[in-house]
Amino acid sequence: MVPPQRKSGGSGTKGAGKPEAGKKADPGKKDTRKQEARKQDAGTKRPGARKPAPERAPKKAAPARSSAKRGEAKKTAPGKRPAGKAAPPKTAPPKTPKIPRTPRTGPRLRRPGQAASGRGTSSRQEPPVPRRPRPGGGGSGGGPPRRRPPRPRVPFHRRDPVKRLNVGLLVVAFVLSLFAGRLVQLQTIESGTYSRLAMQQRMQKIDLPAGRGDITDAQGNPLAITMEAKAIFADPYIIKPDKRQKIVDALAPVLGLDPAYVLKVISRPDTRFEYLAHGVRPDQARLVTGFEFPGIGTLPEYRRQYPNDSLAASVVGFVNAEGKGAAGLEYSMNDRLAGRDGWHRVEIGLNGQHIPMGEDQKQPPVPGQGLRLTLMRDVQFHAQRAIEKQVKATGARSGSVIVMDPRDGRLVAMASAPGFDPNDYGDSDPDRWGSPIVQEAYEPGSTGKVVTAAAVLEKGGVRPDTPFTVPDSIKKYDRTFSDSHPHPTERLTFAGVLATSSNVGTILASERISPQTLYQFLRDFGFGEKTGIGLPAETAGNLQPPAKWSGTDRYPIAFGQSMSVNALQMASVYATIANDGVRVKPSLIAGTTGEDGAFTAAPRPESKQVISAETAKQIRDMLEGVISKEGTAPKARIPGYRVAGKTGTAEMVNPGNGQYDGTRYTASFTGFAPADDPQLVVQVVLQEPRKGNHYGGDAAAPVFKDVMGFALQSRKIPPTGSEPPTVKIRARD
């Protein structure tokens, strides 16, 4: 506690706080002194030190005051004058003698006006230390010394540093926890994903194409071979944008590519490998590497080559720029020919170079199998040249030639015109890429009469010498059917009906059997089903069952109209007759060859007895009459050989009106030789011949003679030593 204020005495303090006589106190003076005292106090504060009380001059003893006044004096702030006192004059205050102080412990206090030390000011306010009584008392009264009242605390608002430190530590800990959580996520939870992504950026997969199997003829002569080539690739990542146009200008002409395509490929972002071209010849590849463009390289691969140009192109087909079969056997047998590609996965650095000690994985390719066909190159070449010549001579839309061995169903030649060069297939009409031999359906016309002949001989009680009275036309229901040439009513044997190719005579003979019997024989001979030789897009033709026939359909079907077949189906019919009535399914593939060259033969084709051997022989004899002077195809005769065959001249439906208008025809001839021991069957078909005579005996028979004669010689088949049978054409009355 602060002791109560007493009256002070002594001469040392007398009159110290009073103004000079005659002068009034200045009321504003005490405020000025108060402000100066506060400023001094604020400048002398330092941490942990108690603010010293300013020295005051001793005051004169005052008269005794009441207790109320003493209480008011206690409440008066230091430096303030009690109420009712006059302000001191403006003269300078007298010098105050120094009062001795008792030594104190603790921090040294700074005197008023003393320069501040380098230490900061503490935010804590220390309580004032009570002053010890002065020695000897104070004042004349000898009473206890007067103590200075405590200085009021000055508020100082600042956060606690400990709290600020704790908050900062919490923030740092939170941020570090986020980093730690993300680190755990990357290193543990998602480490596999990012490892794979990083590996994908470095790993580059290079395809290792398998060697494509060769296609050869029956004697091993190549029809399609695989040769060494190069693939051109680009690494767009390291190709600078300002170099792209220079690369395009150099590569596009050499590789025969569209400049826009090359620019698009080498400008693709976020990629390290893009193919520009496949199957580039080695000489072209050397030009590309000679440019030394960064980001452009070559890889070894293979290219398909067809050494015989257009020979058998419609059968063999071709391989497109992507290395896949696109037509013929190259397309239908692509899986077997192509094999299985391999791959090589390596690590690539930023400069596009292979990292020697990096990851390296490899799966070797599996070469494809080779195909050995039943075709014979020399016969194929002769047949193709003959049909191309005749198509041009007759102005036909297309033509085809088939050479077949009837004993085992093997196809010796399959030629069609017009053709194309598979080495430059892009320069040809896509309509020529297919094989019309199996893809084009047509109405066989009179060549189909042999099926009706077999049916009536087997089931109708008809013999080759059975007579028929044949007018030049006949009416059935609301339709009239006519022969190809007007003639008076004739008395013909059934052999004569077949030899003269009479439509009316065939209709009369077909009435000896039911429509169902006729239909069944057509099916047994292979009509209405695919041959299955392996060429793509083969048509099965069109043969409706009797339930869907109209009242008159059975009659045109009997002489080869109102139904359709492909050329190979028709050739198979005559091969069946030549093979004593046994139908052997046609075959084109003799077998396959492995990587080591070992040959694996294909399974034997299916066979079926369709008609009896006796019936087949009767039909063969009747077909020899077609080649006679009285028949329709004397132009098919081959000196030294007995020949049997049949002409066909079928009207084609006009696609504009769906009717037969007599303006479009299919001319054909199918025969075999030697007739007494058939070993080869040749079928010739010309679609829409427009120059010369459109009949089969005139347009197609000469091609048969040319191709059959050459095939007999190439197969070293000796001439026939027997005489042909006498075929009775006209019946006796």
By annotation, the residues acting in catalysis are 446
Task: Beginning with the edge strand found earlier in the chain, give each strand of the sheet holding 360-363 in spatial order.
Answer: 203-208, 342-347, 360-363
In 10 A of CB 389, how many CB atoms? 14
CA dist 348 and 698 (Å) reads 70
Burial class (CB in 10 A: 0-12, 13-18, 19+), 583: buried
Q: Crossing angle of helices 244-255/282-290, nearest 10°?
A: 160
Distance CA 400, CA 687 (A): 9
Strands 582-584 and 607-609 come out as: antiparallel
Token pair 């599996």 in the structure block, residue: 366
CA atoms within 13 A on the CB side of 44: 19
Backbone φ, ψ for residue 292 (5° rounding): 55, 45
Do you find a cis peptide bond into 418, omega within 30 degrees of 0?
yes
User: Apex CA 354: angle with CA 349 and CA 356, to 5°?
Assistant: 110
Nearest to 244 by CA among 297, 295, 298: 295
- By DSSP bridging, strand 599-601 and strand 318-319 are unpaired
- In contact, 647 and 447? CB cutoff 8 Å: yes
CA distance 696 to 715: 26
504 contacts: CB under 8 Å, gap ≥ 6: 470, 471, 472, 473, 474, 481, 482, 483
Spatial distance between the Cα atoms of 396 and 633, rounded to a whole number of angstroms: 20
Report yes or no: 675 and 628 within 8 Å, Cβ to Cβ: no
* Pick from 234, 274, 272, 276: nearest CA to 350: 272
